[in-house]
């Protein structure tokens, strides 16, 4: 599933799209002891608009995020296709259109039994249909050739008890303490998944798309235990691994120009493939060449190449996962953040044995703690003018004194 295909589904995931229909919605509430307290499955068109709008908005949020970061695609292993396996359970629920109670219950139990979660939560699962019109070589839609992409989208939403203070009781016309507390289902799911993926503008039942609202907080139990897929490192872990290798291998050759140069060249790769549907990746050859172009020695660049190849195990990292959107320089008590287009305005320099960080300022006005100040120009120190002999007073002649 590439960026273009994800964008197509995301764009049409709406009641206003003529190509998309949310057919059925299954819901469940799970308490802190992993008991399913209630479970329903209803036709979407029978749900009141106030509730259906909330369901639509929450399910669509599963598609939010960036491929390779918050949205991670996984291929099912062989054992997932066996009876009782994760793929088999998902496929059965898909085929039932969430209208078969047994299939829905099996899916809900698969999630509840295998997922680690820290609080009570709700499960929302939608069965959707997207009409896919074939495209010509010129990327134009053919209105006479189409097929349906049917898929499940699941959202895991935390449920919190809202404790209100004083309220106005309209019936009693009084201000009083509320005694009944509401359990609020969060609008933004922490996790979710889409099955099957939309690949080649059609369903791929061999892959599933996992969604994490916070890419740094991936719920591994959903990937490995619910979906039955081997977990890959998160985007943050991939970046930390790369930085660790740079620190250990490039070591004393690291400098401001090397670090910013590597980041700049990674951004160039991302920009070059920005309009391509597939995510650009960085392999070991890229890493070696980037380091060489940034001023790293041949020996260190090749050592880094080998370490990167071994660490990624022939699964190159997406370039976007390695890019820093800004450069941050930190020492004790001082932190300087530099935008991506301003790295060339900063340099390091050693003068008379002291190290300096120099920043070129195009404008003498700078903002300090929200206030605008001006950097004064350095004026040369005044020097004593040389004396003009013509201005000196004439010396009085010495008087000759004669002893008497």
Can you point out the beta strands (E) in 50-99? 71-75
> Given CA atoms 120, 83, 41, 8 in this order, what sign does their dihedral have?
positive
Q: Which residues of the chain have pLDDT under 70?
A: 314, 378-404
First-to-last CA distance in the chain? 124
- Distance, in Å, from the CA atom of 153 to the CA atom of 149, rounded to the nearest integer, reads 12
Pairing status of strand 207-212 against strand 71-75: antiparallel
Contacts for 321 with CB less than 8 Å, ≥ 6 apart: 68, 69, 235, 238, 239
- Beta-bridged to residue 322, according to DSSP, are none
| 346-to-165, 329, 361, 384, 389 alpha-carbon distances in Å | 53, 10, 9, 37, 50
Check: CB of residue 27 under 8 Å from CB of residue 123. Answer: yes
Residue 358, Cβ density class (10 Å: 0-12 exposed, 13-18 middle, ≥19 buried): exposed
Of the candidates 341, 336, 382, the one whose C-alpha atom is nearest the C-alpha of residue 359 is 336
The domains of the chain are located at 3-231, 236-321, 326-373
- Distance, in Å, from the CA atom of 135 to the CA atom of 21, rounded to the nearest integer, reads 21
pLDDT of residue 385: 57
pLDDT of residue 381: 63
Hey, what are 103's tokens? 């299939």
Contacts for 4 with CB less than 8 Å, ≥ 6 apart: 277
pLDDT of residue 135: 78
The three-state secondary structure class of 287 is helix
pLDDT of residue 3: 92
pLDDT of residue 102: 97
Of the candidates 245, 215, 237, 383, the one whose C-alpha atom is nearest the C-alpha of residue 310 is 245
């Amino acid at each position: 599933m590439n960026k273009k295909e994800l964008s197509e589904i995301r764009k049409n995931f709406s009641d206003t799209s003529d190509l998309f229909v949310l057919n059925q919605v299954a819901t469940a509430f799970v308490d802190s002891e992993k008991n399913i307290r209630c479970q329903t499955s209803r036709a979407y068109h029978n749900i009141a608009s106030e509730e259906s709008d909330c369901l639509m908005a929450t399910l669509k949020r599963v598609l939010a995020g960036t491929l390779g970061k918050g949205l991670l695609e996984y291929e099912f292993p062989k054992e997932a296709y066996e009876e009782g396996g994760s793929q088999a359970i998902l496929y059965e629920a898909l085929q039932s259109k969430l209208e078969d109670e047994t299939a829905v219950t099996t899916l809900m139990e698969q999630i509840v039994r295998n997922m680690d979660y820290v609080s009570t939560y709700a499960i929302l699962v939608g069965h959707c249909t997207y009409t896919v019109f074939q495209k010509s070589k010129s990327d134009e839609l053919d209105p006479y050739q189409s097929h349906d992409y049917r898929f499940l989208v699941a959202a895991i939403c935390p449920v919190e008890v809202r404790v209100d203070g004083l309220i106005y009781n309209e019936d009693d016309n009084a201000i009083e303490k509320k005694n009944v507390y509401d359990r609020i289902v969060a609008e933004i799911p922490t996790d979710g998944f889409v099955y099957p993926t939309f690949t080649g503008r059609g369903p791929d039942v061999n892959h599933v798309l996992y969604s994490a609202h916070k890419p740094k907080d991936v719920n591994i139990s959903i990937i490995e235990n619910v979906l039955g897929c081997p977990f890959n490192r998160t985007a943050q872990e991939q970046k930390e691994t790369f930085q660790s290798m740079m620190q250990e291998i490039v070591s004393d050759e690291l400098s401001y120009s090397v670090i910013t140069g590597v980041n700049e060249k990674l951004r160039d790769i991302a920009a070059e493939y920005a309009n391509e549907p597939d995510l650009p990746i960085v392999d070991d050859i890229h890493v070696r060449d980037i380091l060489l172009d940034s001023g790293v020695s041949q020996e260190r660049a090749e050592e880094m190449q080998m370490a990167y190849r071994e660490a990624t195990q022939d699964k190159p990292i997406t370039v976007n996962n390695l890019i820093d959107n800004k450069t941050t320089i930190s020492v004790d008590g001082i932190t300087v953040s530099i935008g991506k287009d301003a790295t060339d305005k900063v340099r390091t320099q050693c003068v008379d044995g002291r190290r300096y960080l120099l920043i070129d300022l195009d404008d003498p006005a700078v903002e300090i703690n929200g206030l605008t100040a001006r950097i004064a120009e350095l004026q040369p120190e005044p020097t004593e003018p040389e004396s003009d002999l013509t201005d000196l007073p004439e010396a009085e002649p010495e008087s000759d004194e004669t002893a008497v």
